[in-house]
Amino acid sequence: MDVFAGGVAVVTGAGSGIGAGLAQRAGALGMTVVVADVNLATAQATVDAIVAAGGKAEAITVDVSRPEELDRLAETVFERHGEVRLLINNAGIETVGYTWEVPTARWEATLAINLHGVIHGVRAFVPRIIASGKEAWIGNLSSVGAFGQMPGQTAYTVTKHAVQAFSECLYLEMELKNLPIHVSSIVPGMIRTNIFNAEHGADEPGQSQGHRRAMFEMMRDYGMDLDEGCRLFLEQIAENRFWVHSQPEMSAQIIAGRVKFLTEQTPPVMPDLARQIAVD
């Protein structure tokens, strides 16, 4: 609260899931929250929840797959508020299916939303943040998937590996330019959200639904509560941490496996989970 209260937060993909949780947590801390989402109705639902809890928020429709819409978002926010203290590039979709079976449009949407949305969110907002001369925080949504391999979730995994690399380089660019902008890589483990709901995979190969169902049930049964995860994320961002985890033990285990894989240069190892939920 000492870091964020009274500032302006912009959260993309804030109509549901982790984005909605982060937006509501930011509102509870006393921030004015810009709830950005491609779906105005769900964005407004998040705003309503923030306002009902005594916070301040507004909904803006944004398709992060279109760089010009992120430019418009940044321009609108700075015209209305004059600053951004917290930018969370969260918008993302999960895609299930073998590489050669995922339709072209779904591949392009996954890359554009999950990766280009983060890149162009930074590109659109950072020059204005620099010009304001104020301290700011940027959180980019990575994933434990950024450190491993998962057949059947290749499109999503590729984007998260890329977001992780982008965030690492961005952190160093801020350091090199001695800018008061703190960069965090947000690494969710297993959090209860609707990202694996069946309706989100309507344009995926038909056989992907079994994979989605298995992942949804696993997150439902064993995942961390969304609000608790978002509380942890914002606390760590406020501490200027680059690595921001919901479940650090899970992250450490997966990252250790990645280190071993790179050090020993073995062929990729099939995750046990992949065999259990294999796309038929």
- Give catalytic status of residue 156 as yes or no: yes
Question: How far is Cα of residue 218 from the mean position of the Cα atoms in its chain?
Answer: 20
Q: Give long-range contacts, CB 8 A cutoff, 24+ apart: 150-153.
A: 150/271, 150/273, 150/274, 151/98, 151/270, 151/274, 151/278, 151/279, 152/96, 152/97, 152/98, 152/208, 152/211, 152/274, 152/277, 152/278, 152/279, 153/94, 153/95, 153/96, 153/211
Q: Name the active-site residue from 98, 156, 171, 222.
A: 156
Residues 6+ away with beta carbon under 8 Å from 143 = 156, 160, 163, 187, 188
Distance, CA of 209 to CA of 200 (rounded, Å): 10
DSSP 243: E
Catalytic residue numbers read 156
